[in-house]
Amino acid sequence: MKATIFHNPRCSTSRAALALLNDAGADVTVVEYLKTPPSRDELARLCARAGVAPSAALRKDAPAVANDDEALDLMVRDPATIQRPFVETAAGVVLARPADRVRDLL
């Protein structure tokens, strides 16, 4: 199984999700989103596939936004505001918080 994780190696939840993928034998592509931020279109696609509103994909400590367009703009401008990790496989996308949500894709 192929998987992509939008990962922050300093985040324990992101590390746990990556470990679950590795333990399952997934062929994992790791995207360190702080170094290689996703585009606005990519963020919108991930949110849509995960079934979460862009405003729900913001970290709790992110500045307040009025709508989902503003949320996407903020995440593009400041990738540190993206809640993590997004994990994508052929089975779908999850915002793996908690990390065990990765199991929904295995």
How much is the pLDDT for 5?
98
How much is the pLDDT for 88?
98
pTM as predicted: 0.94
Hey, where are the domains in the chain?
Answer: 2-105
86: left (phi over 0), alpha (psi -120 to 50) or beta: beta
Best CATH choice for the domain 2-105 from the list 3.10.450.50, 3.30.43.10, 3.90.1150.10, 3.40.30.10: 3.40.30.10
- Helical H segments across the chain, by residue range: 12-23, 40-50, 68-77
Active site residues: 11
DSSP H or E run through 89 = strand 86-89
Q: Are residues 1 and 89 in contact, defined by beta-carbon separation less than 8 angstroms? A: yes
Rounded CA-CA distance 76/43 in Å is 8
How much is the pLDDT for 27?
98
List the chain pLDDT tens, one digit each, 106 residues: 999 999 999 999 999 999 999 999 999 999 999 999 999 999 999 999 999 999 999 999 999 999 999 999 999 999 999 999 999 999 999 999 999 999 999 9
